[in-house]
Amino acid sequence: MAICTAVVKQLRAIVGRKYVLDSQEDLLCYSFDGTFAEFMPDLVVEPGSTEEVSAILKLANEHEIPIIARGMGSGLAAGTVPFGGGIVLPLNRMDAILEIDLLNMTATVEAGVITFDLQTAVECHDLFYPPDPSSIKHSTIGGNIACNAGGPRCLKYGVTGNYVMGVTAVLADGRIIKSGGKTIKNVTGYNFVQLFTGSEGTLGIITEAILKLVSKPHYVRTAVVAYDRLDDASRTVNAVLSAGIVPATMELMDETAIVCIEEAMHLGLPVDKEAILIIEADGFDQDGVQHEIEAIARICQETGASSVEVAKNEAERAELWRARRSVGPSLARRAPNKLGEDISVPRSQIPEAVRRIKEISRKLELPIVIFGHAGDGNLHPNILFDRRDPEQWERVQDAVAAIFATAVDLGGTLSGEHGVGTLKLPYLESDVGRISIEVQQLIKQALDPKGILNPGKALPLMEPSSHY
Amino acid sequence: MAICTAVVKQLRAIVGRKYVLDSQEDLLCYSFDGTFAEFMPDLVVEPGSTEEVSAILKLANEHEIPIIARGMGSGLAAGTVPFGGGIVLPLNRMDAILEIDLLNMTATVEAGVITFDLQTAVECHDLFYPPDPSSIKHSTIGGNIACNAGGPRCLKYGVTGNYVMGVTAVLADGRIIKSGGKTIKNVTGYNFVQLFTGSEGTLGIITEAILKLVSKPHYVRTAVVAYDRLDDASRTVNAVLSAGIVPATMELMDETAIVCIEEAMHLGLPVDKEAILIIEADGFDQDGVQHEIEAIARICQETGASSVEVAKNEAERAELWRARRSVGPSLARRAPNKLGEDISVPRSQIPEAVRRIKEISRKLELPIVIFGHAGDGNLHPNILFDRRDPEQWERVQDAVAAIFATAVDLGGTLSGEHGVGTLKLPYLESDVGRISIEVQQLIKQALDPKGILNPGKALPLMEPSSHY
């Protein structure tokens, strides 16, 4: 679709001429995300305030122009690729940390703030914003909220949604809604904060948020634990949590992940083991944290660990986390392409999920590396392949379908922290069921009757429901 | 409205003759809740399964008969009083604990399970279901979820909504929706679990839930801390939390509350003090818990406490909690009636909120007792009065309005854990704003187009929105 000159003129009047981009080079930059998908938008408009977003949406709604809000475009589900064109709306100019409230332990931020920048800012005040997606250094709070992003620390601290206390969002017709606030308890009205969180820009565009902070833990101990058998690593996860210990993280890497990292980084990781866990304990009492990591080490040994090493200092710890974060990139040494999935299963099903994924890998003759947040059942099976080979690409599709089927069959779900976007839409009904999709569509229809907000993402495009 | 004989016959066929109640005595029992409000329903129907609820709703929707789902009717906002008649639907027959999953630490329960019964059942397995509303011994999980109930322990552990991982709900037209599950992370589809939680039976009727459990803390220490000045008690709350300590509870009682309890129970509480705090630390490491209560005691002394006493044993601790739980009932010694409110303010505003409530009390010449969950900013100002005096009753209404205005003015909200029900509806717009109410109505309209589910509760009855 082409956007008519009169509308472009009005958009320029709203945000200023230099914030309306229409050159092919500029449009190209906003045509893709962290996946293989791409599609050129018709226009890129960069708003500088909630009021500007409101004015843009009012105009877009009137003219039924799709609006795809976007942070840094690091999404892994093609949730911000503008299939069908329309206006991409990067919120990056709105990057102010408006307030850090020390007494109430909250931060009020604009959507475009980089998550890492917020963390750094609050840590100066001995406060802590726990959610830590891998993309933390470049993804935005707005994007994190739109996808309800996770990360390793979510085991102890919970996901992004657990830290969103209030939002300012712009509805499809430009109306501005504020919901929630700085109160810890709030049961006044429906929970719009959590309805907007994770809705991937399909119900409204979040422009500001009030985030909960906690006190920054004073002490951290990190252990790297090796296992001859991956099953034992899974058993450790359940044993530690059943003992009443909630570590900050329990990260799993399988043997291929270990080897890839080791080849890339030469850290001395045990390349002959089936799995390692990175387990971190944190807290405010030095002895308490020490007791916790010792108790964890004991349980690891009881559940079959072949070695438990505790990082001696911050440098060693930083290196371990650098290793964990480099799993994704290091896989590039093995194959030209990778496709990372994001299934979540009940914790008890991790061993079975791992077994079935390995079986899928064997059957379809595709290397699948398994790593992820074992403590909360969120696994990232990464399929390695060569996109240039169409036959291989077909097998990749089969592997993805089989991985999703496994997750659902084990009582799990398609996505733990990446969102549905476009890529998981074909599998959505197998997970949530027909009625759930219909109810999603009813709510979408109620809030965005013309369907301009990120159309075709998170839920299938509307077909008129015959039921009501 | 009268329900026609043919419908009554069909309802009897669905649930069985003895579960359709229509005698005046029976109807009377379901005409009130924990407030002054009452209204006779036309019929009481007691379903025994989700399928029966579904069949009842299908029929009710067809005939446009209001359905008021109900647990034990202990609500404090007239949320289950059947104004306008219709069918009251007690879910008490559905009281099965369907599963306690030790590995995944979840409980799957029917809506009618008494919260205390669930807690007792899971504690046998060394597990813990933290939400602890005062009504815990008689209120149901279904009711707790419908109102997103709180309690003292929510300071550390969060409210009911933080423990709801999955729900089975019946929609207005009888369709059954299942949402969420046993996975800790789940971003597949809109967050219906949290949309239904706290929606007070207006969007669907929750018949089953999957609840998150945690490990039961092994050690608990409880301190009772007295203050000459109530302000200092408030300062303590902020000081403790700012030190990175999150006690399980920080409960505040003002001098009137202390005196009333002491008159009723003779526990030796300091009746000459402006406030006491009951602070509890819990955890898995005996030394850690001991260090925590000692650190708390030090902070209390630094912030002006006149005495800090730590309970020596479980009997002393139980007595303190019996005292805290008896604040409400003990107020009956002071006046024939009381009206308990439930405002929630940002923690930093507790001192100002208390000052303003005391000013309201003075100005309107009505005793107002203040107690509540100071740690999370949730206060229960209780107005004492004589309902038989119409002039006094009018002043009570003024006091309620002034208390709500105070909460909103301080960045707080009308309800921390009781819900909006009917009683807070007139104040709703002053808190959440017009647009928020309109969006609630759009969602209500989408999911319950005939408006049969608990009509007139939680949000105002629909007026056609001119905006869309």
pLDDT at A2 (0 to 100): 84
Type of residue numbered A377 = G
Classify A261 as helix, strand or coil.
Answer: helix
Tell me the per-residue pLDDT of B144-154, one tens digit each, with 9 for 90 and over.
Answer: 999 999 999 99
Q: How distant is the Cα of B124 from the closest Cα of chain A, in angstroms?
A: 14
- A217-333: in CATH 3.40.50.800: no
* Nearest beta carbon to residue A440 from set B105, B190, B437: B190
Where is pLDDT greater, at B413 or A324? B413
Type of residue numbered B42 = D
Closest CA to A147 of A82, A76, A51: A76
Provide the ipTM. Answer: 0.95
Angstrom distance (rounded) from CA B196 to CA B160 = 12
Angstrom distance (rounded) from CA B309 to CA A450 = 63
Among the four given CATH numbers 3.40.1360.10, 3.20.20.70, 3.30.56.10, 3.30.43.10, the one describing domain A5-90 = 3.30.43.10
Helices then strands, each counted (H, E), chain A = 16, 19
Q: How distant is the Cα of A185 from the closest Cα of chain B, in angstroms?
A: 5
Type of residue numbered B169 = A
Type of residue numbered A325 = R
Tell me the per-residue pLDDT of A379-428, one tens digit each, with 9 for 90 and over.
Answer: 999 999 999 999 999 999 999 999 999 999 999 999 999 999 999 999 99
Angstrom distance (rounded) from CA B160 to CA B82 = 25
Chain A hits for B214, CB-CB cut-off 8 Å, are: 246
Closest-CA residue of B relative to A424 is B188
pLDDT at A463 (0 to 100): 60
pLDDT-wise least confident of A25-29, B181-185, B265-269: B265-269
Cβ A465 vs Cβ A441: under 8 Å: yes
Mean pLDDT over each residue of chain B, to the nearest integer: 94
Q: Please name the residues in contact with A391: beta carbons below 8 A apart, sequence gap of 6 or more.
A: none
Task: Give the bridge partners for A372, in sequence order.
Answer: A252, A379
pLDDT at A377 (0 to 100): 94
Cβ B246 vs Cβ B281: under 8 Å: no
pLDDT at A464 over 60: no
pLDDT at B468 (0 to 100): 37
Classify B116 as helix, strand or coil.
Answer: helix
Cβ A197 vs Cβ A185: under 8 Å: no
Closest CA to A182 of A97, A96, A101: A101
Chain B hits for A449, CB-CB cut-off 8 Å, are: 468
* Nearest beta carbon to residue A195 from set B161, B190, B418: B190
Q: How distant is the Cα of B271 from the closest Cα of chain A, in angstroms?
A: 30
Chain A hits for B285, CB-CB cut-off 8 Å, are: 288, 291-292
Residue A79 zone, left/alpha/beta (φ > 0; ψ -120 to 50; rest): alpha
Angstrom distance (rounded) from CA B45 to CA B48 = 10
pLDDT at B48 over 90: yes
Angle at A92 between CA A89 and CA A97, to 5 degrees: 135
- A187–B417: do the CB atoms touch at under 8 Å? yes
- B446–A449: do the CB atoms touch at under 8 Å? no
**Statement: the pTM of the whole predicted model exceeds 0.90:** yes
Q: How distant is the Cα of A354 from the closest Cα of chain B, in angstroms?
A: 16
Chain A hits for B417, CB-CB cut-off 8 Å, are: 185, 187
Chain B hits for A345, CB-CB cut-off 8 Å, are: 183
* Nearest beta carbon to residue B182 from set A411, A416, A442: A411
Tell me the per-residue pLDDT of B416-441, one tens digit each, with 9 for 90 and over.
Answer: 999 999 999 999 999 999 999 999 99
State the average pLDDT over residues B49-71: 98
State the average pLDDT over residues A319-333: 87
pLDDT at B467 over 50: no
Chosen from A190, A214, A219 to mutate, greatest number of chain B CBs within 10 A: A190
Q: What is the H or E stretch that residue B430 is in?
A: helix B425-432
Angstrom distance (rounded) from CA B54 to CA B295 = 53
* Nearest beta carbon to residue A191 from set B104, B198, B414: B198
Cβ-count burial of B6 within 10 angstroms (0-12 exposed, 13-18 middle, 19+ buried)? exposed
Q: Which residue is it, tokens 């303010």? A: B345
Do B217-333 and B335-453 share a fold?
yes
pLDDT-wise least confident of A136-145, A149-158, A282-291, B43-52: A282-291
- A186–B440: do the CB atoms touch at under 8 Å? no
* Nearest beta carbon to residue B443 from set A179, A411, A446: A446
State the average pLDDT over residues A185-195: 95
Chain A hits for B377, CB-CB cut-off 8 Å, are: 183-185
Q: Establish, for the pair of chains A and B, how many residue pairs have beta carbons separated by less than 8 Å.
A: 276
Classify A48 as helix, strand or coil.
Answer: coil
| Kind of pairing between the strands at B67-70 and B87-90 | parallel
Type of residue numbered B288 = G
Residue A176 zone, left/alpha/beta (φ > 0; ψ -120 to 50; rest): beta
Tell me the per-residue pLDDT of A90-118, one tens digit each, with 9 for 90 and over.
Answer: 999 999 999 999 999 999 999 999 999 99
Q: In chain B, what's the furthest Cα-to-Cα distance? A: 71
pLDDT at B466 over 70: no
Tell me the per-residue pLDDT of B78-137, one tens digit each, with 9 for 90 and over.
Answer: 999 999 999 999 999 999 999 999 999 999 999 999 999 999 999 999 999 999 999 999
pLDDT at A333 (0 to 100): 83
Chain B hits for A452, CB-CB cut-off 8 Å, are: none
Closest CA to A375 of A258, A254, A238, A232: A238
Counting every residue, how long is chain A? 468
Chosen from A157, A188, A194 to mutate, greatest number of chain B CBs within 10 A: A188
A42 alpha carbon, distance to own chain's centre: 27
Closest-CA residue of A relative to B61 is A468
pLDDT at A208 over 90: yes
Handedness of CA B257, B260, B266, B272 (dihedral sign): positive
Closest-CA residue of B relative to A172 is B468
Closest CA to B284 of A120, A172, A14, A288: A288
Classify B211 as helix, strand or coil.
Answer: strand
What is the pLDDT confidence band of residue B336, given thresholds at 50, 70 and 90? very high
pLDDT at A1 (0 to 100): 64
Over pLDDT 90: what percentage of chain B?
Answer: 88
pLDDT at B1 (0 to 100): 64
Where is pLDDT greater, at A468 or A235? A235
DSSP letters spanning A216-237:
PPSEEEEEEEEESSHHHHHHHH
Chain A hits for B211, CB-CB cut-off 8 Å, are: none
Residue spans of beta strands (DSSP E) within B79-142: 87-90, 97-101, 106-110, 127-128
- B442–A439: do the CB atoms touch at under 8 Å? no
* Nearest beta carbon to residue A435 from set B175, B194, B459: B175
Angstrom distance (rounded) from CA A165 to CA B429 = 19
Cβ B183 vs Cβ A412: under 8 Å: yes
Chain A hits for B292, CB-CB cut-off 8 Å, are: 285
- A335-453: in CATH 3.40.50.1390: no
The gap between the terminal CA atoms of chain B, to the nearest Å, is: 33
A132-135: long-range contacts (C-beta < 8 A, 24 or more apart)? A133/A160, A133/A417, A134/A325, A134/A328, A135/A34, A135/A72, A135/A74
Chain A hits for B161, CB-CB cut-off 8 Å, are: 191
* Nearest beta carbon to residue A173 from set B183, B412, B468: B468
Query: Any idea what DSSP says for residue B460?
Result: P
- B245–A284: do the CB atoms touch at under 8 Å? yes
- B185–A442: do the CB atoms touch at under 8 Å? no
Chain A hits for B235, CB-CB cut-off 8 Å, are: none
- B187–A420: do the CB atoms touch at under 8 Å? yes
Q: Please name the residues in contact with A309: beta carbons below 8 A apart, sequence gap of 6 or more.
A: A223, A224, A225
pLDDT at B175 over 90: yes
Chain A hits for B412, CB-CB cut-off 8 Å, are: 181, 183
Closest-CA residue of A relative to B147 is A187
pLDDT at A143 over 60: yes
Cβ-count burial of B409 within 10 angstroms (0-12 exposed, 13-18 middle, 19+ buried)? middle
Helices A286-302 and A230-242: angle between axes, nearest 10 degrees? 140
Q: Which residue is it, tokens 């929609």? A: B171
How would you label A170-194 residue by residue, b for 16+ Cβ within 10 Å and e otherwise? Answer: bbbbbbbbbbbbbbbbbbbbbbbbb
Closest-CA residue of A relative to B460 is A189
Question: Which CATH architecture describes the domain B97-215?
Answer: 2-Layer Sandwich (3.30)
Alpha helices (H) along B64-171: 115-123, 141-147, 154-157
- B191–A192: do the CB atoms touch at under 8 Å? no
- A428–B184: do the CB atoms touch at under 8 Å? no
pLDDT at B463 (0 to 100): 61
State the average pLDDT over residues A51-73: 98
Type of residue numbered A143 = G
Chain A hits for B179, CB-CB cut-off 8 Å, are: 432, 436
Closest-CA residue of A relative to B151 is A185
pLDDT at B329 (0 to 100): 83
pLDDT at B465 over 50: no
Angstrom distance (rounded) from CA A233 to CA A80 = 36
- A191–B187: do the CB atoms touch at under 8 Å? no
Q: Please name the residues in contact with B9: beta carbons below 8 A apart, sequence gap of 6 or more.
A: none
Angstrom distance (rounded) from CA B281 to CA B219 = 8
* Nearest beta carbon to residue A439 from set B177, B241, B373: B177
Residue spans of beta strands (DSSP E) within B389-463: none
Closest-CA residue of A relative to B189 is A458
For chain B, the structural domain boundaries read 5-90, 97-215, 217-333, 335-453
Angstrom distance (rounded) from CA B399 to CA B357 = 9
Cβ B265 vs Cβ B326: under 8 Å: yes
